[in-house]
């Protein structure tokens, strides 16, 4: 399957191309540069693979939660490509992407992913690896003050995400281990999630490739 994945939900911008089992990627930490970077990254990956955009089979985009503007850039790009190429889209959670990366890189099987949501809150969710090596959300993703979060069996969870740099003290009491460096969603880690979504039919048409903000009270 020829699948293009990208994420702009954090200060990082990344794009990955899955071409029949092979993955190539571009990743850059570049706050507020997503609009300038995302299509050039995609174009480079496709050019290297000798592909035209119209030859893609599917799109995956980081649907959130995260920066509202970044989510809409990714959503808008996904919609534009999917509509013009007449292909389906897999909206991928940025929290699930963080969890999937923790599995790929550190073998973590139960992940507590948390992203800074500003306004003294975090976006968070719990993920458990399934038999096929795909991170699945336990319960629902939500937005709340970090001290309100409670996880069952504290020591089981591996913590990841940008919320850790800001609320390390509070979050450290919620799980056993945590990643030491700040981590952002990477398009490479979206590929297994997206392939699973396509296999399971968890896909939408261009106009339904919409962000999931989690924070909906904005006025």
Partner 1 sequence: MRVLGIETSCDETGVAVYDSEQGLLLGHALHSQIDIHAQYGGVVPELASRDHVRKLIPLIKNLLHENLIKQSEIKGVAYTAGPGLIGALLVGAAVGRSLAWTWQVPAIGVHHMEGHLLAAMLEKPAPRFPFLALLVSGGHTQLVEVMARGKYTVLGESVDDAAGEAFDKTAKLLGLGYPGGPAIARLAERGNPDVFHFPRPMTQRPGLDFSFSGLKTSVLTTWRAQVQNEQTRADIARAFEIAVIETLAIKCRRAIQQTGLKRLVVAGGVGANQRLRTRLREVADKMGAVVYYPRPIFCTDNGAMIAYAGSLQLMAGQSEPLGFSAYPRWSMNELK
Selected binder of partner 1 within 1, 23, 35, 166 (CB under 8 A): 35
x-or-dash string of contact with partner 1, 57-96, rule CB under 8 A? -----------xx--xx-xxxxxxx-xxx-----------
Burial state string for 162-173 with b = 16 or more CB within 10 A and e = fewer than 16: bbbebbeeebee
Alpha-helical runs (H) found in the chain:
34-49, 68-85, 94-106, 163-172, 187-200
DSSP for 6-32 reads: EE-SSSEEEEEEEETTEEEEEEEE-TT
Q: How far is the CB of 94 from partner 1 (least distance, A)?
A: 16
Q: Does 29 bind partner 1 (CB under 8 A)?
A: no
Q: Does 53 bind partner 1 (CB under 8 A)?
A: yes
- Judge contact between 112 and 175, C-beta under 8 A: yes
Q: Which is nearer to partner 1, 79 or 93 (CB)?
A: 79
Binding residues vs partner 1 (CB under 8 A): 35-37, 39-40, 42-43, 52-54, 68-69, 72-73, 75-81, 83-85, 206-207, 210-211, 213, 218-219
């Amino acid at each position: 399957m020829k699948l293009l994945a990208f994420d702009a939900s954090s200060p990082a911008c990344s794009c990955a191309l899955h071409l029949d089992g092979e993955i190539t990627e571009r990743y850059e930490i570049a706050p507020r540069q997503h609009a300038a970077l995302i299509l050039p990254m995609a174009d480079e990956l496709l050019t290297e693979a000798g592909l035209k955009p119209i030859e893609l089979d599917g799109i995956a985009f980081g649907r959130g939660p995260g920066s509202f503007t970044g989510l809409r850039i990714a959503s808008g790009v996904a919609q534009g490509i999917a509509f013009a190429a007449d292909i389906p889209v897999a909206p991928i959670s940025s929290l699930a992407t963080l969890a999937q990366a923790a599995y790929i890189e550190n073998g973590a099987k139960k992940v507590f992913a948390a992203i800074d949501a500003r306004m003294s809150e975090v976006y968070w969710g719990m993920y458990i690896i399934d038999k096929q090596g795909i991170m699945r959300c336990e319960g629902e993703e939500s937005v709340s003050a970090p001290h309100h979060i409670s996880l069952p069996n504290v020591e089981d969870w591996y913590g990841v995400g940008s919320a850790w740099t800001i609320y390390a003290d509070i979050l450290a009491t919620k799980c056993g281990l945590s990643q030491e460096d700040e981590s952002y969603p990477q398009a490479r880690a979206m590929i297994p999630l997206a392939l699973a979504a396509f296999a399971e039919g968890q896909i939408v048409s261009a106009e339904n490739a919409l962000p999931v903000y989690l924070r909906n009270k904005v006025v």
